Structure 1
Amino acid sequence: MNDKTLDMNEVRDAYQQLPEQFNSLLMATVNPAGFPEASYAAYVKHEGSFYVYVSELAAHTRNMAHSGLAGVLFIEDEDKAGNLFARQRVTYQCTALEVARDSQAFEDIMSLFEAKFGEFINFLKQLQDFHLYRLTPHKGNFVQGFARAFTIDGEAMDQIRPINDKGHKTAPNRSSSQPN
């Protein structure tokens, strides 16, 4: 892979469109004992951040409250992938900050949740064990396929660079002849 053969605008468009295909995101958090935990949550995106409305009964909510961090994954559906081993995916390293329930930001984001997910959100808003978290990406990766991996960063998460311009390493070719 080399920058001259890649249309980075096409790569950027592909990476930005992948999350738009999903109503939920996959999350990775770490519990206070240092063990990783995987989960998912419905989300809305606003001004470059992902918002999740999650119950404190869920481990991921307690973990984000403790660490202020979360990993986010969007990955191409298996049945849509050309190759199971090369599914398109975007991962983000995020800070996780709770949005105060009594703030205008809370009301604004919950309105986005209602527009996306319907009236059920009004029921969830009444549950006091639910908390709104803003997941702000600071660094990411986009894998578009074999030997097509990119780092994502920048203030607007719009700076994309190939991770490796040489592609995958392969074993050297061996001659089929046997030594005497």
Structure 2
Amino acid sequence: MTNPTQAEKIGTEVQSFIDSRRSLMLSSLTIEGEPYASYAPFAFKDGEIYVLLSEIAIHALNLQANPTASVLIVEDEDSAKELFARRRVNYKVQAQHIETTSPGWEEGIKILSARLGNRIDNLSQLSDFKLFKLIPQSGRYVKGFGRAFTLEGTGTQGMGVSHLRDGHKRRESVTT
């Protein structure tokens, strides 16, 4: 476990990185238990991630049937210094479908609209669009080779941070 100052620094870095991204990769499970990867624009507040998904898209149906999913927020290839070590954060999440009649609907739509613009206001008026709150359960932040951290506990910054020190090792030479 890193010290509290280091954990705060990593948490701030993670939040700054998330602030710089506008879409995430979403991995969900189909009703048959098969993995399905997609993407969605997102917003966040208080360590929770919000997405507005159409039921026409498979990932919305998947999250309604199985709320366990994974999220990946990753640095663009074009701006990465190293393709094999792109900065990224991934989370195991629990999805909560927020009904249009609940108080959380208006708050979630406001959060998304503030970050993504008035397109959200238009989409939220369509009956096939569903609002989901993705609650991180744990995560991993990678900022380069040998610089990976486990984010322990809930929230986008985690409640604790551990540096993964047992990383890459050279393969022993095999002579024939």
Distance 2:2 2:110 in 1: 41
Are 2:164 and 1:159 aligned? no
Are 2:169 and 1:169 aligned? yes
Q: Which has the larger radius of gyration?
A: 1
Distance 1:171 1:97, change over 3 A: same
Distance 1:124 1:143, change over 3 A: same
Equivalent residue, structure 2, for 1:91: 90
Equivalent residue, structure 1, for 2:51: 52
Structure 2 residue identity aligned to 1:93: K
8 Å CA contact retained: 2:91, 2:136: yes
Q: TM-score, normalised by structure 1?
A: 0.86
- Percentage of pairs with the same residue: 34
Q: TM-score, normalised by structure 2?
A: 0.87
Distance 1:161 1:100, change over 3 A: same
Equivalent residue, structure 2, for 1:32: 31
Distance 2:50 2:144 in 1: 28
Distance 1:74 1:155 in 2: 16
Q: Which moved more, 1:27-36 or 1:86-95?
A: 27-36
1:79 Cα deviation after fit: 1.9
Equivalent residue, structure 2, for 1:73: 72
The alignment of Structure 1 onto Structure 2 pairs a total of residues equal to 172
Structure 2 residue identity aligned to 1:45: F
CA RMSD across the alignment? 2.3
Distance 2:167 2:2 in 1: 12
Local SS of the residue matching 1:57: coil
Structure 1 residue identity aligned to 2:54: S
8 Å CA contact retained: 2:136, 2:154: no
Distance 1:12 1:119 in 2: 30
Equivalent residue, structure 2, for 1:146: 145
**Alignment gaps of 5+ in structure 2:** none
